[in-house]
């Protein structure tokens, strides 16, 4: 993890940007995105210097920004930023600059537009993308979109959604497309999710009732929507692992501080050997995750394919989060049950093992590439 948020002299002064945001009583996730994008912080992820070709951005800068956001804002705010910066915007940036998707990418980079990524379908389990029922039909030069998406980050706050939809029956990867949908278009309805969690993330459902769009609102080739999404989901998984490292580090730091201040029988709780052993086990877990983050962020032309490295990192991040937050909540005792306390964070952090691929899905990816990963280890040794 970077020692300072402004270690890169070419990047915008992130400390100063966050200081401006803190002058507001409770900046919304939308305001946070607009401010970071307008400052150049978002654009620097992709363009200054040339991005890592594996991810389409600079993973070290992404790590710095996610660490800063995790420290400054609730989980829902960071989640809102993460989906846009790691997945939605890179997908739009793959489109020609003079296309509607390209224009929207420019607006988002300037802080004038916010984005949602609408993949999880109302008609299918989240991990079964090819079973989706959201579909488009062609009427001359017009696309007609029907269906719905659920548990979508920024559903109620975004200006545009990138929607993965079916264009033909069947489950072949070429039967799915990505299209840009203005959320003010006739026939679009956003519905907030009935949940107590993720304040600021704008989570909800999107309903499409015969939404009519020009054919140029397709993003990329009509037959490459699922392939494009699969490519960029690796960057979202990378971000998930980097964020998990930042979050576990923050929680362990605060827990350690509490243990050194709280006294039992006249001595700091930290002096209790059983407490120290439990804390050390969580710290070892977190340090393993940090080492993996360092490895994945470093240039590695001979390392595993990005999809494998990202699956490995995301799975490790979710598992580490579960263990570390559970242990720290136990060590914090009653304080963990306070409003906004660690038990609430534990509940919200469960999404690290679901969104962007469940733990079982990711472990399958890792297992499929066992030989590659073991060969890489032997080479490194």
Q: Which residues contact 147 (CB under 8 A, 6 or more apart)?
A: 121, 122, 123, 132, 133, 134, 135, 165, 208
pLDDT at 303: 75
pLDDT category at 285 given cuts 50, 70, 90 is: very high
Please name the residues in contact with 288: beta carbons below 8 A apart, sequence gap of 6 or more. 316, 320
Residue 343: pLDDT band by 50, 70, 90 thresholds? Answer: very high
3-state class of 58 per DSSP?
coil
- pLDDT greater than 50 at residue 4: no
Please tell me the distance from the alpha carbon of residue 207 to that of residue 37, in angstroms, as a whole number.
28
Give the tens place of pLDDT for each residue, 203-215: 999 999 999 999 9
| Confidence (pLDDT) at 2 | 36
pLDDT at 125: 72
Does the reported pTM lie above 0.85? Answer: yes
**Per-domain residue ranges of the chain:** 14-113, 116-222, 227-380
The CATH number of 227-380 is: 1.20.140.10
Percent of the chain with pLDDT over 70: 93
Identify the residue with better confidence: 50 or 122.
122
Q: Strand 135-139 and strand 142-152: pairing?
A: antiparallel
Q: Which two structure tokens, joined as six digits, stand for 15?
A: 């400390």
Dist. CA 329–CA 337, nearest whole Å: 8
Share of residues in the chain with pLDDT > 90 (%): 74
Q: What pLDDT is stored for residue 195 in this prediction? A: 92
Least confident of 188-202, 241-255, 269-283, 351-365: 351-365
Which pLDDT score is estimated for 1?
A: 35
Please give the Cα distance from 6 to 39 (Å, whole number). 14
pLDDT at 25: 82
Query: What pLDDT is stored for residue 23 in this prediction?
Result: 85
| pLDDT (tens digit per residue) in 39-56 | 999 999 998 666 788 898
Question: Exposure of 9 by Cβ count < 10 A (0-12 exposed, 13-18 middle, 19+ buried)?
Answer: exposed
Distances (CA, A) of 293 to 202, 246, 286, 366: 28, 10, 11, 16
Asked whether residue 115 carries a pLDDT value surpassing 80, the answer given is yes
Q: Taking phi first (over 0 means left), then psi (-120 to 50 degrees means alpha), and beta for anything else, what does residue 200 get? A: left
Q: Could you write out the three-class secondary structure of 309-331?
A: HHHHHHHHHHHHHHHHHHHHHHH
Owner of token pair 């488009």: 136
What distances in angstroms separate CA 179 from CA 56, 159, 277, one per listed residue?
A: 20, 14, 52
pLDDT confidence of residue 264: 87
Q: What's the rounded Cα separation, in Å, for the pair 206 and 163? A: 10
What is the per-residue pLDDT for 378? 53
Domains 116-222 and 227-380 share a fold: no
Q: Is the peptide bond before 206 cis (omega within 30 degrees of 0)?
A: no
pLDDT score, position 7: 40
d(CA 232, CA 307): 9
Report the pLDDT averaged over residues 139-163.
96
Identify the CATH homologous superfamily for domain 116-222: Butyryl-CoA Dehydrogenase, subunit A, domain 2 (2.40.110.10)
User: Among 353, 352, 356, 336, which residue's Cα sits nearest to residue 344?
Assistant: 336
Look at residue 203 in the predicted model and tell me its pLDDT.
Answer: 97
pLDDT above 50 (res 6):
no
Flag whether pLDDT at 244 surpasses 70: yes
Q: Which of 110-119, 150-159, 204-213, 349-358 has the lowest mean pLDDT?
A: 349-358
Average of per-residue pLDDT values in the chain: 91
pLDDT score of 159 more than 80: yes
- Kindly state the average pLDDT of the residues 2-18: 61
Residue 3 pLDDT grade (very low, low, confident, very high; cuts 50, 70, 90)? very low
Mean pLDDT of 101-130: 91
pLDDT of res. 49: 65
Give residue 123's pLDDT: 84
What is the spatial distance between Cα 286 and Cα 306, in angstroms, rounded to a whole number?
22
- In the chain the first and final C-alpha atoms are separated, in Å, by 24
What pLDDT does residue 329 have?
96
């Amino acid at each position: 993890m970077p020692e300072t948020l402004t270690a890169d002299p070419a990047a915008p002064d992130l400390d100063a940007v966050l200081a401006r945001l803190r002058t507001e009583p409770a900046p919304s996730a939308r305001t946070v995105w607009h401010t970071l994008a307008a400052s150049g912080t978002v654009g620097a992820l992709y363009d200054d210097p040339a991005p890592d070709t594996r991810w389409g951005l600079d993973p070290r800068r992404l790590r710095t920004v996610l660490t800063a956001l995790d420290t400054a804002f609730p989980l829902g705010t960071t989640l809102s930023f993460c989906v846009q910066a790691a997945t939605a915007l890179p997908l739009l940036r793959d489109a020609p600059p003079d296309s509607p998707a390209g224009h929207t990418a420019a607006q988002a980079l300037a802080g004038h537009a916010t984005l949602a990524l609408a993949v999880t379908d109302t008609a299918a389990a989240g991990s079964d993308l090819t079973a989706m029922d959201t579909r488009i039909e062609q009427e001359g030069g017009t696309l007609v979109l029907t269906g719905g998406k659920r548990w979508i980050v920024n559903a109620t706050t975004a200006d545009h959604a990138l929607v993965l939809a079916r264009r033909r029956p069947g489950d072949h990867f070429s039967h799915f497309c990505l299209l840009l949908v203005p959320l003010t278009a006739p026939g679009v309805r956003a519905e907030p999710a009935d949940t107590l969690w993720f304040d600021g993330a704008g989570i909800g459902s999107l309903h499409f009732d015969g939404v009519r769009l020009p054919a140029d609102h397709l993003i990329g080739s009509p037959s490459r929507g699922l392939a494009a999404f699969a490519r960029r989901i690796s960057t979202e998984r990378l971000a998930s692992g980097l964020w998990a490292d930042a979050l576990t580090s923050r929680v362990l730091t605060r827990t350690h501080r509490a243990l050194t201040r709280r006294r039992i029988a006249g001595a700091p709780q930290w002096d209790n050997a059983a407490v120290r052993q439990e804390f050390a086990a969580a710290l070892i877990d977190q340090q393993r995750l940090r080492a993996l983050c360092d490895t994945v962020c470093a240039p590695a032309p001979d390392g595993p394919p990005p999809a494998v490295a990202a699956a490995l990192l995301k799975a490790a991040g979710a598992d580490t989060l579960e263990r570390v937050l559970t242990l720290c909540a136990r060590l914090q005792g009653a304080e963990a049950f306070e409003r906004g306390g660690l038990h609430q964070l534990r509940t919200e952090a469960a999404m690290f093992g679901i969104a962007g691929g469940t733990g079982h899905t990711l472990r399958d990816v890792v297992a499929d590439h066992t030989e590659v990963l073991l060969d890489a280890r032997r080479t490194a040794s």
